Amino acid sequence: RFHMIGHSMGAMAMQRLLVDIDDLLRVKSAVAITPVPACGAQLDQDSWSTFEASVSDDNSRYLITDFTTGKRLPSAWIRAMVQKSRETTTESAYYGYLKAWVYDDFTDQVRGINTPILVSVGECDYAITEASMVSTYLRWFPNSALEVLCNSGHYPMQEIPLHLVSVMERFMKRFTQDAVF
């Protein structure tokens, strides 16, 4: 038995695993951190153009990172995030990821899955919002809860790492009898 944690697109993959796993009782709980819902992103044409340009244009990646962190973090930090993204992702992989993020939709398959899920969003993430999680995750997963992470945007593992760990541990402890945290 195990817990699952997924961030952003990784949370979309986590939902896919919940659909595909043979024995859902093996999953003790799941934590979705600033997650993309099973319906994918709902982007207007301007937003799609910015994301599509970000495949090869670092300025577009900068704009996206700045927006999803509430336009409040130092430019040096945002530039470092963009550089790390560029260093660790090929353009073809990035574009494939982007298409999946925008166009995949398996909403009908996740509806009603009873796995306990903590949905955590950053209060400063302008893309993955509390309202969007209420209308997706909290509607689809009957055993889900929402936690808004103060002073965080889309990257709480970098922005507020110790608080994020405490939130995840507190949630997972509820579903683990012999946990040592």
**pLDDT digit string, tens, across residues 37-46:** 999 988 889 9
Torsion, Cα of 171, 5, 48, 64 (10° steps): 70
Kindly state the average pLDDT of the residues 34-38: 97
How does DSSP assign 93-106, residue by residue? HHHHHHHHHHH---
Q: Is 170 helix (H, G, I), strand (E, B) or coil?
A: helix
Tokens representing 125 are 């993430």
User: What is the number of alpha carbons within 13 Å of residue 149 lying toward its C-beta?
Assistant: 32
Q: Which residues contact 25 (CB under 8 A, 6 or more apart)?
A: 1
Does residue 178 surpass a pLDDT of 70? Answer: no
Confirm if 54 and 81 have CB atoms less than 8 A apart.
no
CA distance linking residue 63 with residue 61, whole number of Å: 5
pLDDT in tens, 99-135: 998 999 999 999 999 999 999 999 999 999 999 999 9
